[in-house]
Structures are given as structure tokens and as C-alpha cells.
Amino acid sequence: MADLAIRFPQNPLLEPADITPSQPELTVECVMNPGVFYFDNKTWLVLRIAERPLQKEGKVSFPVKDKDDRIKTLEFDKNHPLIELTDPRYVIYNGASYLSTISHLRLVCSDDGVHFYEPDDYPTMLTGLGSLESFGIEDCRVTEINGTYHLTFTEVSENGVGIGLMQTEDWKHISRRGMIFPPHNKDCAIFGEKINGKYYCLNRPSGLTVGGHYMWISASEDLVHWGEHKCILHTRDGFWDSERVGAGAPPIKTPDGWLVIYHGADSDHRYCLGALLLDLNDPSTVLSRTNDPIMEPVMQYEKEGFFGNVIFTNGHLIDNDRIDMYYGASDTVICGATFSIDEILTVLRDS
């Protein structure tokens, strides 16, 4: 099947050189995986900025936060016998895993959806705080429900990887609601309205021995306490989504059902996007799933970078039939693409 995405001709829209580091001693390595929302007649992105100190010859160094939320740097010899550096995203020392960069979230806005800037009159930086975010916060999804914006994002620390929640109405006062799903869980997308009186979200716990990186759905009365967990989507042997699957942005309501754009990765960590259709009244029922990706890494900026062959999305805006999707390419830059909802639904009807 052909790639259904029409990429923005201006791609990449944002790259590390466009971003001011959060601290003078850090370098921005990646600007990626933005949450997206519409507010005050503008398109806003909640960027994920990944930073580390400038790397010295023969050494590997990375930042973590201490118990007072101050950045400290850990540095090791690259050829230290206890160091493992097989994946650029991680540093393993003496059996303990760290991230090679620390991420924070940064707000930018745009009048045309293509040129983004940090507004002066808003707090634009959200950094990890406390013992559950000492390795940073990542990959924010934004769901607006009746004027309140709900931010779900990955919280990383030596305790594991879980899902945090923040809420705001005006983007000036943001309240932190803490961890809503404990480790290991990520990729949390809240539906934009109640279904049969309850809130729902997609999330992605990971089974360590039995199970896998599968998509789940959970329900809540208050968006903070979640239950009625159900596993709705497995990986598929021999397919492009054979190793992991995870929801993208909040599901899109269509006459056919809830449309979910999701990421799938294979054993080579190649990340593509596919689509799912969930029942409108019972979103734990999967009605259809695309066999082939609807978007694959093909452009140079999607194939090469900090971690190549990755298309990862967690944000979009909807305008009638058009999806304006923003995505991280190769975990390095931010790009945009449009889809037609109708075209995706046609493929789902035939799947």
C-alpha cells in the first residue's frame, strides 16, 4: 500500500540548532515527538527537547537530576569494562540503565502551523521534578475536554518509566497531578469526550516475561484514577509492528468509529505508523487495523539522525477531513504531514 502521508514541503520544521539549551552547559541533541493543540488562534507544540553535555573524546557523559532537581553529570570512560553503549538512547553501567540524554518539554506556537517560536508571555519550559522524573519527561499528548487541557507524558527515573498527568486551562498555570500509571507504561492518549459516562485512555504497559509491548484501554471517572483495564492490540509476528505498538495522538471521532493513528516497530527498531478503528460505543472493540503502514520512514531526515528510521507521532490537529500531523523524525527533528481521514477510513474498510 502506498504511503498515505503528504509531507510538508518545509520539513524539517524544527531542528536542534533552532532550540536554546535549557542550561548553558548542555547541548540540544534532539527536538522530537511533539504534543499538539490549538489555543488563542494559534497552533502550539509541546516539544520534547533531549539534551546532554558536549561529548568528549573517549568519554560518555549524560545528565540526571539530583534530589534537589539540579542537573548533575555522570561521566565514564567509553571503554570502561562495566559500560555498555549498544543503543544510542541508553547508557548501561554496571547493569543499571540510564538515558543518554535528559528530556524536558518546551512550548512553542505558530500563526501558520509551519514557523514556530517561543512566546514571551507564557512559561515555556516544563522540566522533570522529583524522584519519578529524575531522568526527564517525554512525549506529551494533549487532549482538550471542555476548555481544560490534559497533558499525558512519560516520566522516567531509576524507578522506571510511567505516565504523568498535568492539567491547565490557560497555559499560564499548570497543575501537576503526578503519576497516573506506574511502570512500565507510556504512550497514553486520552479520548476527547466521555463515552457512556466515562473517560477513556489508550496506554501501553510492557510485559517483562509473559506478554509484550501491547496497547491497552482504561476507564476513569476523574482522569486521575484509572481502572477497567483491557488489552486491545497485540504486536504481529512477521509484520512491520512485530515488536511494539503504541497510540499516537488522541483518537479522532468519525462516523465509522474512533480512528487511532499508532506507531509500530519491528525488531530493527524501525518505527512506522498504522491506523486502527475502535467501536464508537465500546472503544475496547477493535473493528479494523491496517495491514500495511500508512506512513514509513523514507525521507533522508526520517532515515538518518540520532536514532534513524523512526517516525513517531503523538500530536495532530483536525480540520474537517484533514489531519495536520506533527511527528518526530529519526528522534532528531520535527516534521509535519497531512492525511485525509476518508482515505485512511477507506483503507480500514478494506483491511
* SS3 labels along 241-266: CCCEEEECCCCEEECCEEEEEEEEEC
Q: Which residue has the cell 491506523?
A: 275
Q: Are 278 and 348 in contact (CB under 8 A)?
A: no
Cell 482538550 found at: 144
Query: Is 331 a residue that touches ligand MAN (CB under 6 A)?
Result: yes
H-state helical runs in the chain: 300-303, 341-349
The CB-of-170 to ligand MAN minimum distance in angstroms stands at 28
89 or 253: CB nearest ligand MAN? 89
Give the x/- contact pattern for ligand MAN in 129-168, rule: CB under 6 A: ---------xx-----------------------------
Residue number, 256 or 302, with CB nearest to ligand MAN: 302
| Residues 20, 63: Cα–Cα separation, whole Å | 17
307 binds ligand MAN (CB under 6 A): yes
Question: How far apart, in whole angstroms, are the C-alpha atoms of residue 145 and residue 32?
Answer: 25
- 89 versus 303: smaller Cβ distance to ligand MAN: 89
Query: How far is residue 292 CA from its own chain's centroid?
Result: 21
Q: Is 303 in the site for ligand MAN (CB under 6 A)?
A: no
Tell which residue, 64, 48, 183, has the closest CA to residue 134.
64
The least CB distance from residue 33 to ligand MAN, in Å, is 5
Dihedral sign of CA atoms 266, 271, 274, 278 in order? positive
Binding characters for ligand MAN, 53-92, by CB under 6 A (x = yes): ------------------------------------x---
Q: Mark 227-256 with x for binding to ligand MAN (rule: CB under 6 A) and - for no binding.
A: ------------------------------
Beta carbon of residue 68, minimum distance to ligand MAN (angstroms, whole number): 26
* Cβ nearer to ligand MAN, comparing 42 with 89: 89
CB nearer ligand MAN, residue 187 or residue 256: 187
Pick the closest to residue 249 from 337, 123, 120 (CA basis).
337
Q: Quick one: which of 11, 33, 127, 290 contacts ligand MAN (CB under 6 A)? A: 33
| Segment interacting with ligand MAN (CB under 6 A) among 115-123, 167-175, 231-239, 307-315 | 307-315
Segment interacting with ligand MAN, rule: CB under 6 A, options 55-63, 111-119, 230-238, 305-313: 305-313
Applying CB under 6 A, which of residues 181, 216, 262, 312 lies at the interface with ligand MAN?
Answer: 312
Q: Which residues pair with 36 in a beta bridge?
A: 45
CB of 308 to ligand MAN, least distance (A): 10
Look at residue 36 and give its three-state secondary structure: strand
Of 122, 126, 74, residue with least CA distance to 101: 74
Given candidates 47, 223, 310, 333, which one binds ligand MAN under the rule CB under 6 A? 310
| Position closest to ligand MAN via CB | 312
Closest CA to 103 of 162, 62, 57, 43: 62
Three-class DSSP category at 344:
helix
Q: Which helix (H) or strand (E) holds 231?
A: strand 226-233
Q: Output the smallest distance, CB 31 to ligand MAN, in A.
A: 12
* 195 DSSP 8-state letter: B
Q: In the sheet that 185-190 helps form, which strands lie side by side, from edge to edge?
A: 185-190, 199-205, 215-220, 226-233
262 sits near ligand MAN (criterion: CB under 6 A): no
Q: Could you tell me which stretch among 12-20, 118-126, 218-226, 306-314 binds ligand MAN (CB under 6 A)?
A: 306-314
Give the largest Cα separation in the chain, rounded: 58
**Residues at the interface with ligand MAN (CB under 6 A):** 33, 89, 138-139, 271, 307, 310, 312, 328, 331
